[in-house]
Chains A and B, each alone.
Chain A
Amino acid sequence: MREHRNILEANGLGKRYGSTWALRECTLAVPEGRVTALVDPNGAGKSTLLNLAVGLVAPSAGKVTVLGGRLPGSRPALDGIAFVAQDAPLYKNLSVADMIYVTRNLNRRFDRRYAEDRLAELEIPAKRKAGKLSGGQQAQVALTLALARRPRLLVLDEPVAMLDPIARHDFMATVLAAASADGVSVLLSSHVLTELERVASYLVLLSCGRVRLAGEVEALLATHHLGSLEELALAYLRENVTEVAQ
């Protein structure tokens, strides 16, 4: 049964800020158990879609559900989804140990041993204030806290945009380990296509606030006779632009 569930479903979903639509007429279904890449090379659509999925913003049009039909922001949705926002916001004046305490007490489930072991492995001192950590360490702390919640869905908004190449690699390795070992569904956004290459098995391509393409990466590549995600995305974006131009 599980594999037939959709981790995210949108139907005619739209979000408007003032008179600008950040996302419009978005209809898609993302199956459970995948690492889904949300690519939007030139817009705020991906961030908007993620914020809608975690319930931080409410839709202006249409409907979105998560974890098999739950409303974002509802108790079961909050319980099953862990979100790492852009720039991995942590309380800068709290120590890493305090961040663990806060996250543990804000959630029904929290794997304290996992969190502490993982941070020890990364050699991040528990007594250090979060604000004193490097960008890469902060991202790792935020990711560790999110995974220690044992979520069904992990949502990452531009997770590696601010990281150096080594930190990027380490971060993605942690995400992939969680996805393959624990079966966590992952929904991550990026404007850099190359870094998604290794990790994504499902692709959602947005452009100008609309969904252009959605599907299994391998199937998409096979259909279009292309070698890489980047070529596919570029081809599709160009195609769309010319279609509009005609």
Chain B
Amino acid sequence: MTALTMPAAPEADASLRPVPWRRMAGIIWRQHRVALTGVAVLLGVVAVLIWIAGTSMHHSYAIAVACQPPGSPACQEADLAFLGSYGFLANGIMLQVLPVLIGAFVGAPLLAREIETGTFRYAWTQGFGRWRWALAKLVSLALAVTGPAWLFSLLLSWYYQPYFFSGNQSLGLTEYTPFFPGLFDLHGVAFAAWTLTAFAIGALAGMLIRRVVPAIAATLAVYAGLAFAVGGLLRGHYLTPLLTTSPNVPGSAWILGQWWTKGGVTLSHATMDHVFNSTMPTVAPTGPAVNGPAGKDQAFSSMLQYLSQHGYTQWTRYQPGSRFWPFQWIESGWLLALSVLLIATTIWLVRRRAA
């Protein structure tokens, strides 16, 4: 047996340059063109549908806004036509699944397929080096899904604009808070940030689970859990909510909670129901004239007047509509940080993990 004494690696090793990063571009395209084309087609088809629906919705909105005098039967009809396009709101939920679909189907197979089919033994023994290979793929594909997602969200922002227009309330039209659950993350920059996060979750899940289909399922589950937790628990607390006793909270505000007090004591819902039911007949006029939305509004405001005269105070905890962009940046900022962390962890695993 030859002696186990080895010279140190020769000096030539030090001058051995790494394979240039740019060489990965063509490789990534060849390997992921199906997935990337799929993303482009999916977003393109949905974009065309939204553009068609949006054009007609913006048109009926313009008619409703221009209508004179407000409240006339013709104008009520115009408002109804605008409201008719509300049906598309339901698609807000459908659009919610786009980031996770992109993330799960591009991110999860990225490493899971290599490991499942054994091609990682080929890829990780080439001169490029395994962690550089992983970094190049993850960063390029992250950009390749986040960019189109951001363009797509510009279209969504345009589409949903009429709902959030702050003059709607005074025009007698429906106004939504831009924080509306299910819509907040469809416009602004949050949509792109959520897409990036879904991709990063998918990549890490693929590396950990090592099989494509379970990795996709895990990505869908983790993403759904995160999205619900953020929407339901976290988002309202990015900035300290405001508190008001004014009954006229603007329509753009995101109302987090409302309650009544009397003499400094908070009243339960049951108590207030009782108060409402017992006083309603005394303050609100009845009869056929007050049926319809206008009559109900009138009854409600005389009710509020009665209650405030009798020492009841209504408290509202809310996030003002003006905080929309700060909230967008806060949410996108931490999602970006989370994605970077997930991608870094994935690369670290590729580098460290004994496969």
Report if A58-B354 is in contact (Cβ < 8 Å); known contacts: A83-B121, A105-B24.
Answer: yes
Whether A9 and B27, one on each chain, are in contact in the complex, defined by CB atoms closer than 8 angstroms, is no
CA A70 – CA B121 in complex, angstroms? 20
Quick check: is A218 within 8 A (CB to CB) of the other chain? no
| A76 x B16 contact (CB < 8 A) | yes
Q: How far is the CB of A70 from chain B (nearest CB, A)?
A: 5
Cβ of B125 under 8 Å from chain A:
yes
CA distance A27 to B7 in the complex (A): 18
Does A89 contact B16, Cβ atoms closer than 8 Å?
no
Residue interface bits A71-95, CB-to-B below 8 A is 1, else 0: 0011110110111011101111110
Contact A94 B9 (CB under 8 A): no
**What string of 1s and 0s marks CB contacts (under 8 Å) between A23-61 and chain B?**
000011101000000000000000000000011111000
Residues 99 to 116 of chain A near chain B (Cβ within 8 Å):
101-103, 105-109
Q: State the CA gap A215–B1 with chains docked (Å).
A: 7
Interface size on A, residues (CB 8 A): 48
A87 touches B118 (CB 8 A): yes
- What chain B residues lie within 8 Å of A103 (beta carbons)? 126
Q: Are A55 and B125 in contact (CB under 8 A)?
A: yes
Given A101-B27, A102-B31, A108-B127, answer yes or no on A89-B1 (Cβ-Cβ < 8 Å). no
Q: Is the CB of B18 within 8 A of A94?
A: no
Instruction: Report the interface size for chain B: residues with CB under 8 A from the other chain.
Output: 40
Judging by beta carbons under 8 Å apart, are A101 and B26 in contact?
A: yes
Residue B260 CB within 8 A of the other chain = no
A109: chain B residues within 8 A (beta carbon) = 127
Known contacts A57-B355, A65-B6, A149-B127; is-contact A29 B1 (Cβ 8 Å): yes
Partner of A78, one of B1, B9, B120, B126: B126
Q: Is B9 in contact with A68, judged by CB distance below 8 angstroms? A: yes
Contact A56 B355 (CB under 8 A): yes
- Residue A4 at the chain B interface, CB threshold 8 Å: yes
B8 CB–A CB distance under 8 Å:
yes
Whether the pair A75, B126 counts as a contact (CB closer than 8 A) is no
Q: What A residues does B333 contact at CB under 8 A?
A: none
Cα distance A134–B253 in the bound complex, in angstroms: 65
Knowing A57-B355, A81-B125 touch, does A89 contact B13 (C-beta < 8 A)? Answer: no
Identify which of A6, A101, A215 contacts B30 (C-beta below 8 A): A101
CB pair A102–B129 under 8 Å, yes or no, is no
Cross-interface CB contact of A76 among B9, B117, B122, cutoff 8 Å = B9
Q: Is A172 an interface residue (CB 8 A)?
A: no
Q: Which of B1-16 contact A (CB under 8 A)?
A: 1-4, 6-10, 12-13, 16
What is the 8 Å Cβ interface bit string for chain B, positions 150-193, against chain A (1 contact, 0 not)? 00000000000000000000000000000000000000000000
Known: A56-B120, A85-B121, A86-B118. 8 other contacts (CB 8 A): A9-B6, A69-B7, A69-B8, A78-B126, A78-B127, A94-B31, A101-B30, A106-B27
14 example contacts (A-B, Cβ-Cβ < 8 A) are as follows: A6-B2, A6-B6, A29-B2, A31-B2, A55-B124, A57-B355, A58-B354, A68-B7, A76-B9, A89-B119, A103-B126, A105-B23, A106-B123, A106-B126
Instruction: Spell out B's residues near A (CB within 8 Å).
Output: 1-4, 6-10, 12-13, 16-19, 23-24, 26-27, 30-31, 34, 117-130, 133, 352, 354-355
